[in-house]
Amino acid sequence: MFVQSKKFIPYNSRLNLNVKKLRHNMTVAEKKLWYEFLRGHRYRFIRQKVIGNYILDFYCQKLKLGIEIDGETHLGNKNEEYDKNRTRELEKLGIKILRFWNDDILEGLGEVESIIENGIKKALLVKEG
């Protein structure tokens, strides 16, 4: 069921059980990004945020910035098309999505951090502009 008001983004409460499972079973890449960078970030990110019928890996409400971590399950035409549609739907809500592969985080967290910081700067410009 969608809960929607002028102040809040759509929320499907039926996904709450999935969110709990995902929070307790984070991938290695998600854990690395969360514990080594996002958890203590000056902008508050939360894990496994329900927006509409989707669950974002990480989300900053203040910036309307989502971060998605993809692994092998996202490969293939069907899955790639789903991800594109999902991103389009979230962008219609004004949410910018940054997408990374597991290996990007596991092998080059510093570069991922820089990309996220640039995404934050862009989100701030959009918010102020």
pLDDT tens track of the chain, all 129 residues? 444 444 567 778 888 888 888 888 999 999 999 999 999 999 999 999 999 889 999 999 999 999 999 876 645 567 778 888 889 999 999 999 999 999 999 999 999 999 999 999 999 988 776
- The model's pTM is 0.85
Q: What are the backbone dihedrals phi and psi of residue 14, each rounded to the nearest 5 degrees, phi first? A: -70, -15
Largest Cα–Cα separation, the chain: 41
Q: Nearest-CA neighbor of 43 among 66, 58, 57, 60?
A: 60
Pairing mode of beta strands 54-60, 96-101: unpaired
Pairing mode of beta strands 96-101, 65-70: parallel
Residue pair 57/47 in contact (Cβ under 8 Å)? The answer is yes
Residue pair 110/98 in contact (Cβ under 8 Å)? The answer is no
Residue 97 to residue 62: CA distance in whole angstroms: 14
Give the CATH architecture of domain 2-9+35-128.
3-Layer(aba) Sandwich (3.40)
Helices (H) and strands (E) in the chain, counts: 4, 6
